[in-house]
């Protein structure tokens, strides 16, 4: 009897070991490093919220997926909601913060025997995700110069977006363009290429719709101009230098949000500037003014930094 029980115990031990190893292997295979990182980020966000004197008393739910934090629950004021978002964004590991917070005081429970409680006077508002503050990218441009001596070319220039909310705000413009400079006459040779690079700032008014915003604007500034002299064509009347000039542009810009990080832009306007070009004529350098006004159309893509 004793030997039989001992034999049974000895045979049961390897089976238990095998089962434990199998369970341990299955758990190890199921571990997701990204899920662990999100859980750690959620814990840090909850700690920051609980320890804050403004929102520590609010029961806010924190969910994290791929570093994106979603806050849900109810706060008393918009100031508390903004504070909760600020705390979450400051936590290490947070890529972005989305809010699904209700602002207002919850209606008290009805007394026994009474009907349902009346809703609070202030309508509860669902907060939208944080707006874009700065986005940068690049754009292609097409121009139609007014002067007959200038022939349009496609241009690549920077693209900057400041803010994404409705109303009056700052605007910047990089309506760069380049054009071939021909000698006098409709059939003149291409003598040089002028590069016009205005850096402008001003005001815009934005009308923001769902996923789309329209912004008419007026900007002005200094244009940094340069010339590239060709090695072919006539040697008479060759432009050899161009000075910087003042420039301004009324226009309109339309933004299409493609997701959390990217936005597509289409814009149009009319750039006005006076080009001071130095021309080699008869062995002498002669300065002449050329009207650099042009219609511009741009299309580009921007990445939202924050």
Fold of 134-304: Porin (2.40.160)
Q: What pLDDT is attached to residue 187?
A: 54
Backbone angles phi, psi at 191, to 5 degrees: -100, -40
Q: How far apart are CA 53 and CA 49, in angstroms?
A: 9
Whose CA is closest to 45, among 22, 24, 61, 23? 61
Q: How far is CA 198 from the centre of its chain?
A: 22
CB 240 within 8 A of CB 278: yes
E strands, the chain, are 61-65, 68-75, 96-103, 125-126, 134-145, 150-153, 155-162, 167-173, 177-182, 190-208, 212-229, 238-242, 245-257, 262-281, 284-291, 294-304
Q: What's the maximum distance between 2 C-alpha atoms anywhere in the chain? A: 125
Q: What pLDDT is attached to residue 126?
A: 44
Domain boundaries, the chain: 33-126, 134-304
Q: What pLDDT is attached to residue 128?
A: 47
CB 201 within 8 A of CB 247: no
Q: What pLDDT is attached to residue 18?
A: 43
Whose CA is closest to 160, among 106, 204, 111? 204
Q: How far apart are CA 121 and CA 244, in angstroms?
A: 60
Q: What pLDDT is attached to residue 99?
A: 86
Q: What pLDDT is attached to residue 105?
A: 59
Residue 29: which residues within 8 A CB-CB, separation 6 or more?
none
What average pLDDT values come out for the chain (306 residues) when binned by 10 residues? Answer: 43 45 48 86 93 88 92 88 90 89 66 52 46 88 88 90 86 92 63 91 90 94 91 67 96 91 95 92 86 95 90
Name the DSSP letter for residue 116: P
Q: How far apart are CA 293 and CA 223, in angstroms?
A: 12
CATH of 33-126, one of 3.40.50.170, 3.30.1340.30, 3.30.420.270, 3.40.605.10: 3.30.1340.30
Q: How far apart are CA 295 and CA 7, in angstroms?
A: 95
pTM: predicted TM-score of the whole model, two decimal places: 0.59
Q: What pLDDT is attached to residue 296?
A: 94
Q: How far apart are CA 72 and CA 42, in angstroms?
A: 13
- Vertex 89: Cα angle to 83 and 90 (nearest 5): 90
């Amino acid at each position: 009897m004793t030997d039989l029980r001992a034999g049974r115990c000895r045979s049961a031990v390897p089976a238990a070991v095998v089962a434990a190893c199998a369970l341990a292997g299955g758990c190890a295979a199921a571990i997701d490093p990204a899920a662990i990182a999100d859980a750690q980020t959620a814990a840090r966000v909850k700690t920051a919220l609980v320890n804050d004197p403004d929102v520590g008393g609010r029961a806010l739910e924190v969910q994290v997926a791929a570093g994106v934090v979603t806050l849900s629950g109810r706060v008393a004021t918009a100031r508390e909601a903004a504070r909760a978002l600020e705390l979450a964004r400051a936590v290490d590991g947070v890529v972005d913060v989305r809010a699904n917070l209700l602002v207002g005081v919850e209606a008290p429970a009805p007394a026994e025997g009474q009907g349902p409680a009346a809703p609070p006077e202030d309508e509860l508002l669902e907060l939208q995700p944080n707006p874009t503050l700065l986005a940068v990218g690049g754009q292609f441009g097409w121009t139609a110069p007014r002067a007959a001596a200038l022939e349009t070319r496609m241009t690549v220039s920077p693209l900057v977006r400041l803010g994404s909310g409705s109303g009056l705000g700052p605007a910047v413009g990089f309506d760069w363009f380049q054009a071939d400079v021909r000698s006098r006459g409709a059939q003149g040779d291409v003598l040089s290429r002028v590069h016009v690079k205005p850096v402008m700032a001003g005001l815009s008014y934005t009308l923001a719709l769902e996923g789309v915003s329209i912004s008419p604007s007026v900007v002005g500034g200094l244009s940094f101009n340069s010339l590239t002299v060709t090695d072919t064509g006539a040697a008479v009347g060759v432009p050899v230098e161009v000075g910087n000039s003042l420039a301004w542009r009324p226009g309109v810009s339309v933004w299409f949000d493609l997701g959390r990080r990217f936005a597509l832009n289409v814009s149009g306007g009319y750039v006005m500037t006076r080009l001071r070009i130095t021309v080699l004529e008869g062995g002498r350098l002669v300065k002449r003014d050329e009207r650099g006004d042009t219609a511009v159309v741009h299309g580009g893509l921007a990445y939202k930094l924050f």
